Chain A
């Protein structure tokens, strides 16, 4: 998992805490092995290797994740698309150079969840070169799973954080909520706001994670799958609270991709959120 991972757990004794922590870490490693696109033996890699050839049968967990991705695609009107990862081939944010238009257009032809064969059991990519990846929601799901594993081990108070995606298992033992700081999108070392969470997921999406500035214009890593270009005029950062980190993460990611209509999307979700504009203005709906 990219980014720092943290478990903060309260328990009766160090032995049970260690057992819960080990179980949670094992679960996160299991998911990383299963879904990482960097690992050739992962299920995702197998589906990608068969692009243009064959559909691959998947297990119940993967089927449920693909169904989730399908739902997110529909609900976001195509902005949340697990086939959009191929745009990484043309967008190199370290280079400081924009890709040429025709390369982006070629790449866009390989995007489109609606073209993927998905019948609930088998997943097949119609064209060679197409790819799916679970990067858009895998970490959030892993946070939920790690929290579930801790609960199964009897942990009632604590939180799981995987690279900024958080699942709060339960409040501090005295019942007080966790105070979670939100980073300033332009000065990452500074907190800009704080939210109180007793239980559930908190996920953030921002334009600061990877970006480049070319001729005074900021291009961030959040790419619109329909245009192949980074979103502009989006908030600098959106954080969403939901019972599950998975749902919070999708809410935040889609809010960023919705750009100017980010606010409408967030209001339509009816979930608590904090949105930070690029000038640092904070909108809180908690």
Chain B
């Protein structure tokens, strides 16, 4: 196969692929032409905490069942709407605090098994196609669970310059969360708290040639309010009563740089995906995520997606598995999510098209370990998670 550098061919092919139904991806901005209903059910299960790392409480960690219902439909010639409803029910125990065990090795105290909790989330998005090149999107959402209530709103702008095969986008999002931690199997550190989050992003998409596309975006988020975990404690050895509430700064700025690369390989009838994400915040957490995927078409109706994800992060400045003495600034957390670690994830998804139906089954397995980290980690947090997720779903076009 020859190298494809022809600008005439690229222009004609892009114009042809913009025709409805000519390619899987929508090259020209256009509202959904037909209603699509989708449903996905998934079961997420974290592995039990290992006996050697376990101090007390239940060893069974979270199990979450999720049902997602989505509807995308045209509203008029220039607008479409997307609605997503999600119901999650979870049960199991979560890491409570870490304390030194034999030889100073940290061991995890778990909460008692919680009763079943439910979470409801609804998100709506209205896309307004101002022209064939420009889309304005308005988002709003509401999320509710026993101890948590959140509202979010957002706005996005996307503009395509067809002659340059370039898409520019920018957006803003805001959420306001209220926590009312429930006293249950573990005591809580506050009875009522609030936090809010403001995110700004800008992105650039480029169709390099008929088979290759890249996307890159930069976003910054400012979180303010109660950012501690009201259910978690820290262990401070020098104190008479060594258990204290998890305490974090009340603001956090996060930067995310995301780059996606897509290349279709005609000889294999498959697409190669490579995504890289860089994260940095003012809590000293820096992380890298690299995901490589191979999306293999098999005949016209089957597709198998396989992707491998690697993740590595550094610790927050106020993190330790446990503390020998109180920090001068008063902050302290032993949350495994703020610890230094790495993770590997493998995802396999099979998709089958059947007339107006698209059926999918997906399996994901994930394991976090200090050993997967980019940097050497002295002490691994005993609460690091391993999980499997199994998802079944369908999409139906009307």
Contacts and interface: CB of A to CB of B under 8 A. Distances in A.
Interface residues of A, number: 38
Given A153-B355, A154-B301, A243-B13, A269 B18 contact: no
Given A67-B18, A148-B21, A156-B299, A247 B6 contact: no
A166 B2 CA distance: 22
Interface in B8-28: 8-9, 11-22, 28
A61 B19 contact: yes
B6 A269 contact: yes
Contacts of B12: 68, 71-72, 75, 247, 250-251
Nearest to B78: A121
Contact of A64 (B18, B210, B301): B18
A75 B8 contact: yes
Nearest to A254: B8
Interface residues of B, number: 32
A155 interface: yes
Interface string B104-136: 000000000000000000000000000110000
Interface of chain A, main secondary structure:
helix
Contacts of A153: 355
Interface in A245-262: 246-247, 250-251
B30 interface: yes
A24 B354 CA distance: 17
A71 B20 contact: no
A232 B258 CA distance: 55
Contacts of B299: 156, 170
Contacts of B3: 270
A113 interface: no
B241 interface: no
Interface in A83-103: none
B300 interface: yes
Contacts of B266: 243
Contacts of A152: 300, 353, 355
Contacts of A64: 15, 18-20, 28
Interface of A: 60-61, 63-65, 67-68, 70-72, 74-75, 120-121, 141, 144-145, 148, 151-156, 169-170, 242-244, 246-247, 250-251, 265, 268-271
